[in-house]
Amino acid sequence: MKVSAKVCLTSSLIVVALGVVILKYRQYVVHPWTRDGQVRANVIQITPRVSGPIVAIPLVDNQYVRKGDLLCSIDPRTFQAAYDQARANLDKTRDQIRNLEQQINSAAAALQQSVTTVRNAAFGVTSAKAHYDELEKDLARYQSLVASGSIARRDFDLTKESYVKAQADLHQAQGLLDKANAAKAQAEAELARAKAALGAPGEDNALLREAVAQCDQAKLNLDFTRITAPVDGYVTNLNLRLGSQAVANQPLLALVDANSYWVVGYFRESTIGSIQSGDNAVVTLMTYPDEPLTGVVESVGQGVAQQDGATGRDLLPSISPTFEWIRLAQRVPVRVHIVKKPERVVLRVGTTASVLVMTDKTVVAAR
């Protein structure tokens, strides 16, 4: 009886163990799991827009900063001087434009005056021409009368003198008209030159827009001497020193975006067939093995880099030797968005994580 009890107990333990193994295997198949995961985040390379020596670094390595906080300052004196010069040039340009506008007004007034002069001269020519035509008719009539003896020779001579004078007055009036037209043409040319020198009026003036742009650029360069945090995050690997030369478009430090953390799990290609976006996930960090994180699958990678076939020596394809009876599964990245994490857990880029994806939407304890 004792032997039978031992056999039954042993058999029961074996059955339970097999059941647990089968259950775990089923969960492993239904819920893909990997220990090959990493915490990731957007790492922003803080890059200066201008060059100059660093004069202030009000932070320490791994410090948390908020958006808009000062990270470091570049010596602003050179850029302040350039900005002051640009402002002075802008004021000078505005004075120059006002002077050109006054020249246009003066040229326009001169043109208006010349138009009036031309009008008066034309009226004078018309009047002189009418007087001349009248005397020309009188002279012709008096000539026939004096020939017939109807009038005295003296009256004919007086009429002829008046005719000659009217002719001279007509020539003089025509000369004044020609001179007025020439003055008008010159006034029109002066007005055109003044308008061409000014260009577009008001704020659309090219000289003014150029001066404003130079002033704005100088102001931007001055503002760029204060380098601030674009997002909330952690400054990491800070190696700056006071007096170091900041070079434009060369990264100074790294800022980890505190609101961009996610986890990437690298699953074997044989297990990702059932993983879809929106599947629940449980993430366990190696740093905090007893405090799992809740997540949701955002996406599944659409490809991985291929080593075989890459160009090698002599431009021939490079192929790694493999064992025909062993097929190594590729690792495909699965991106997991972190929905909830324990308050004590601190996420760090590059740390190791285990990822369990629940493809049947059920909640399963993290492994």
Which tokens sit at 90?
């802008």
Whether 365 is in a domain gets the answer no
To 10 degrees, the CA torsion angle through 353, 354, 358, 359?
A: 90
Does one domain contain both 106 and 196?
yes
For 184, phi and psi rounded to 5 degrees?
-65, -45
CATH of the domain at 163: 1.10.287
Sheet of 52-56: strand order equals: 226-228, 70-74, 52-56, 245-246
CA dist list (Å): 344 to 36, 216, 256, 293: 23, 47, 19, 11
Does one domain contain both 306 and 330?
yes
Whether 200 is in a domain gets the answer yes
Whether 272 is in a domain gets the answer yes
Tell me the sheet residues that pair with 246.
52
Does one domain contain both 268 and 214?
no
Does one domain contain both 246 and 348?
no
Rounded to an integer, the average pLDDT of 27-48 is: 86
Give the residue among 110, 135, 117, 134 at the shortest CA–CA distance from 173. 117
Does one domain contain both 187 and 303?
no
Does one domain contain both 278 and 292?
yes
Listed range (37-46, 157-166, 291-300) with the worst mean pLDDT: 157-166
pLDDT value of position 67:
95
d(CA 341, CA 359): 21
Does one domain contain both 104 and 160?
yes
Does one domain contain both 289 and 196?
no
Does one domain contain both 71 and 84?
no
The pLDDT tens digits of the residues spanning 268-326 come to: 988 888 899 999 999 999 999 999 999 999 999 888 877 766 777 777 777 777 666 66
Write down the mean pLDDT value for the chain: 84
Task: Show the domain range for 209.
Answer: 79-219
Domain count, the chain: 3
DSSP state letter for 314: G
Whether 10 is in a domain gets the answer no
DSSP state letter for 313: G
Which tokens sit at 1?
């009886």
Does one domain contain both 213 and 83?
yes
Whether 21 is in a domain gets the answer no
Does one domain contain both 213 and 327?
no
CATH of the domain at 70: 2.40.50.100
**pLDDT of 71 higher than 50:** yes
Cα 119 from chain centroid (whole Å): 57
Rounded to an integer, the average pLDDT of 31-55 is: 94
Whether 330 is in a domain gets the answer yes
For 74, phi and psi rounded to 5 degrees?
-100, 145
Whether 7 is in a domain gets the answer no
CATH of the domain at 321: 2.40.30.170
- The one-letter amino acid at 243: G
Does one domain contain both 244 and 332?
no
Whether 104 is in a domain gets the answer yes
The pLDDT tens digits of the residues spanning 206-248 come to: 888 999 999 999 999 999 999 999 999 999 988 889 989 999 9
d(CA 319, CA 307): 8
Which tokens sit at 227?
């380098």
pTM above 0.75, yes or no: no
Give the residue among 314, 283, 315 at the shortest CA–CA distance from 296. 283
Write the CB contacts of 214 (distance below 8 Å, at least 6 apart in sequence).
86, 89, 90
